[in-house]
Amino acid sequence: MGENLTAGSAAPARGNAAHRFPVSVKGVVLDPADRVLLLRNERDEWELPGGKLELGESPEACVAREILEEASWPVTIAAILDSWDYHIAPGADVLIVTYGCELTTDRPLRVSDEHAEAALFREPEVSGLRMPDGYKRSIAEWFSRRHRR
């Protein structure tokens, strides 16, 4: 049976029935030699450093925390770059939000146990890497903004 709505009334809340998926906040970090930091994950793909947003945590705090944990690099957050739905597999979707980050240290890169490898890539190398197009878009955008300065 249909629902009657009168002027000024709203449709019933369906928030609990909506599809839910995690939010992952990622950072594009360039080193002083103008290379982007990427990490190799368990799917043998390159990805940006970052991770899942925790309840009550701001996206900016999340990405700064994750980069410090995963690469031992402190950063400041400069600008939001992009957001997109990453369909990993059937029933596995993640909302990705990317930020451009400024490196605030000269300490060496150190990869955590979360990833198989960390590496630094020059801009022309990124297009040939095995990684989602959304990450490539975010990297290109941050290189573009940095070179306009």
Buried b (16+ CB within 10 A) or exposed e, 46-82: bbbbbbebeeeeebbebbbebbeebbebebebbeebb
Q: What is the pLDDT of residue 6?
A: 47
| pLDDT value of residue 5 | 46
**Cα–Cα distance for residue pair 106/50, rounded to 1 Å:** 20
Segment 6-30, tens digit of pLDDT: 445 455 555 555 667 789 999 999 9
Domains of the chain: 21-148 (3.90.79.10)
Give the burial class of 85: count Cβ atoms within 10 A of its Cβ; 0-12 exposed, 13-18 middle, 19 or more buried.
exposed
CA 27 to chain CA mean position, Å = 5
What count of residues does the chain have?
149
pLDDT exceeding 90 applies to what percent of the chain? 65
Q: What is the pLDDT along the chain (149 residues), one digit of tens a residue?
A: 454 444 454 555 555 556 677 899 999 999 999 999 999 998 899 999 999 999 999 999 999 999 999 999 999 999 999 999 988 888 888 999 999 999 999 988 888 878 889 999 999 999 999 999 999 999 999 999 988 76
- % of the chain surpassing 70 pLDDT: 87
Please give the pLDDT value at position 15. 56
